[in-house]
Amino acid sequence: MEKNHYYNAADLKKFPSVGEFGKDLADKFFAYYSAVFAEGALTAREKSLVALAVSHAVQCPYCIDAYATDATEKGWSEQQMMEAVHVAVSIRGGASLVHSVQMMNKVKEISM
């Protein structure tokens, strides 16, 4: 067994095996997952780009590998993919920055 590796690219292929320790919930999750990514009001192609952006927001290397490939296969250009990542980055950054209002409120509250 490999040691000291929290992430291993080859583990992505083993994702379906998580049912080994709890089949019912895994089956429910994968059925839900498939339903989410099916064509709907958003196309499967659009959902792929959303997934790529979210993968960066949650900083999941498996998801980034999977959806960088998937979005490329689905015909998104490098520029479009990078813009989607910047959307995720701006929301993450904005989420921190918007808390500065709370900081300002508190500072003003305690200041003369």
Partner 1 sequence: MAQLTKSLKARNSDLASGAHQLEVLEHAGPGISFAEKLQGCGLFPLKPTGITIFQVNIGRMCNQTCAHCHVDAGPDRTEIMTRETMMQCLAVLKDPSLETVDITGGAPEMNPDFRWFVGEIKKLNKHIIVRCNLTIIVSNKKYHDLPEFYKAHNVEVISSLPFYDADRTDRQRGEGVFKSSIEALRLLNDAGYGKDPGLLLNLVYNPSGAFLPASQVELERQFKKELKNQHDIVFNNLYCITNMPVSRYLDFLIRTGNFENYMDKLVVAFNPSAAAGVMCRNTISVGWNGFLYDCDFNQMLDLTVHGAQTHIADFNISALNQRDIRLGQHCFGCTAGAGSSCGGSTV
Looking at 38-46, 51-59, 89-97, 103-111, which segment touches partner 1 (CB under 8 A)? Answer: 38-46
Number of other CB atoms surrounding residue 74 within 10 Å:
16
For residue 38, the SS3 value is coil
> Using the rule CB under 8 A, is 74 a contact of partner 1?
yes
Q: Does 73 bind partner 1 (CB under 8 A)?
A: yes
Q: Tokens representing 16?
A: 């379906």
Nearest to 37 by CA among 11, 86, 74, 77: 74
Tell me which stretch binds partner 1 (CB under 8 A): 17-25, 70-78, 82-90, 100-108: 70-78
The tokens describing 82, both together, are: 């990078």
Q: Which of 77, 90, 100, 105 binds partner 1 (CB under 8 A)?
A: 77
State which of positions 88-107 bind partner 1 (CB under 8 A): none
CA distances from 78 to 1, 36, 74, 83, 98 (A): 36, 24, 12, 9, 30
Instruction: Give the residue with the Cβ less far from partner 1, 27 or 73.
Output: 73
Interface region with partner 1, contact rule CB under 8 A, candidates 21-29, 41-49, 89-97, 101-109? 41-49
Kindly report the number of other CB atoms within 10 A of residue 50's CB atom: 16
Task: Please report, as ranges, the residues that interact with partner 1 according to CB under 8 A.
Answer: 13, 43-45, 69, 72-75, 77-78
